[in-house]
Amino acid sequence: MRRRLLWKLLLVNIVPVIGVIVLVIWLAIDQLAADYFMALMTKYDVSPTDTHQMFLDAVHRYLIWATLAALALALLLSYLLTSRVLRPLSQMVAATREVAAGNFSPRVQIASRDEVGQFGEAFNRMADSLERVEGLRKTMVADVAHELRTPLTNLRGYLEGLSDEVIPPSKATFEMLQDEILRLVHLVDNLQQLARADAARAYLDRRAFALHEAVEQMLGLYGPNFRAKGISVETRFAPGTGAVTADRDKVLQAVRNLVENALKYTPAGGRVAVSAERVSGGIRVVFANTGEGIAEADLPHVFERFYRADRSRSREAGGAGIGLAIVKELVEAHGGRVGAESSGEETQVWFVLPD
C-alpha cells in the first residue's frame, strides 16, 4: 500500500508541477526571449533567420536537460521525504492486521509531530485501550469463574455429605448452606447492577432532587451497621450543594455502594465523613474513612471491575471488587467523574455530578 500511495503522491505532486513550470518557461522563451533576440539581430544588421533557429534549438536543448535533471532530483528528494512521512502508515497497516487477529501488542513508531504523527499517536492510544480492555475482560471472566466456583464447590461438598449421611443435617449446616447461597445471590445481583450501570448511558430519568437528602437517606439506612461497629459518621454539606438534576435512583445506587464501601473498610471505632462542595462544573461529594490506606500504585485501578488492592483478602472481607466499578459507570453516565485519594490513615473516594 505504501509503495502504491508513494508513487501516486509523487506523480500527482511532481510531474504536473514541473510540467507546468517547463511549459511556462518554454513558451516564455519562444515568445519573449526569441522576440527580444530577433530585435537585437535586426538592430545590428545580422540575418536573424538561421541565428534565431540556432538560438531556439540551443535553449530548448538545455531546457530539456535541465528539466530532466530537475525531475530526477525532485523525484529523489520527494521519494525520500514522502517515504519517511508514509512509514507510520505502513506500520499502522501491519499493526492493524495484528490487532484484528487479536494481538494488541504492536505499536507504531512516531517520527514526526505532524498529522501523520498525530494519527500514529491516536492509533497507539487506541491499541493501549484495546489491550487494557482485553486484559480486563480476561481477568473479569476468570474472577467471575472463581467467585462462582468457591460457593458452588462448598455447596456441592456439603450436599454430597448430607446425601451420604456423612454430615448430620444440623441447623448450623443449613445456615452455612444458606450463607453460601446468599453469597451467590449477592454476586449475581452485583453483576446485574454492573450490567445496568453499563446501560445507564442509554436512558437517564433526569429530575431535580436534593442530593444531600439522598446521601443522608443512605447513611440513615446503614446507621445501625455503623453503630454496631462503633463508627462515628459526620456530614458537611456546603451551601449551594443541595439540588442536582440527575437520575435519582442511579445516584442512590452509587451513594449506596460508597456507603457500603466505607462501612466495610472502616475499622471498629473509626470515623466516616461525608462532605459536598461546589466545584467547577458540578458538585463534588467526598466519602472519607479512617483505616488502612490504599497503596499509590493501586489507586488508579480501584474503579476497575473485580480489582482488589489486597488479592489475598478473602471475598467475605474484601468483596468481589464490583461496587466502585458500578459507581464509576453510573457517575460517568451522567457526564461526571470519579476519583480516589489515600494517605496512611485515611482514604477518600469522591465523585462529581454536573449541575
Looking at residue 274, what is its pLDDT? 93
Flag whether pLDDT at 1 surpasses 50. no
Which residues lie across from 279 on neighbouring strands?
A: 282
The 10 Å Cβ neighbour count of residue 84 is 12
Q: Which residue has the cell 461525608?
A: 274
**207 φ, ψ (degrees, to nearest 5):** -145, 155
Tens of pLDDT along 112-134? Answer: 676 667 777 888 888 888 887 77
User: Which three-class secondary structure state does DSSP give residue 238?
Assistant: coil
Burial class (CB in 10 A: 0-12, 13-18, 19+), 180: middle
318 band by pLDDT with thresholds 50, 70 and 90: very low
CA distance 320 to 314: 9
**Which of the four pLDDT bands, split at 50, 70 and 90, describes residue 144?**
confident
**Count of beta carbons in the 10 Å neighbourhood of residue 13:** 13
Q: Best-predicted range by mean pLDDT among 16-20, 106-110, 246-250, 320-324?
A: 246-250
Amino acid at 98: E
Question: What are the extents of the domains in the chain?
Answer: 2-127, 143-199, 205-353
d(CA 235, CA 230): 17
What b/e readout covers 133-152, taking b as 16+ CB neighbours within 10 angstroms?
eeebeeebeebbeebeeebe
DSSP string, 94-125: HHHHHHHTT-----PPP--SSHHHHHHHHHHH
Under a CB-based contact definition with an 8 Å cutoff, are residues 327 and 258 in contact?
yes
CB atoms inside a 10 Å sphere around CB 245:
14
Phi and psi torsions of 109, nearest 5°: -80, 125
From edge to edge, which strands make up the β-sheet containing 271-279? 232-237, 271-279, 282-290, 346-353, 337-342
Euclidean distance between CA atoms 180 and 152, whole angstroms: 8
Query: In one letter, which amino acid is 269?
Result: G
What are 10-66's pLDDT values in tens digits? 555 655 666 666 666 666 666 666 566 666 666 665 555 566 666 667 767 777 777
Query: How buried is 168 (Cβ within 10 angstroms: 0-12 exposed, 13-18 middle, 19+ buried)?
Result: exposed
- Report, as an integer, the average pLDDT of 213-223: 89
Q: At what angle do helices 115-163 and 48-100 cross, to 10 degrees?
A: 10
In the 8-state DSSP scheme, what is residue 343? Answer: -
Q: Read off the pLDDT of residues 243-291 as tens digits, 9 standing for 90 and up.
A: 888 888 888 888 988 998 899 889 999 999 999 998 887 899 999 999 8
CATH of domain 205-353: 3.30.565.10
Neighbours of 350 (CB within 10 A): 20
The span from the CA of 246 to the CA of 344, in Å, is 34
Q: How far apart are CA 106 and CA 99, in angstroms?
A: 8
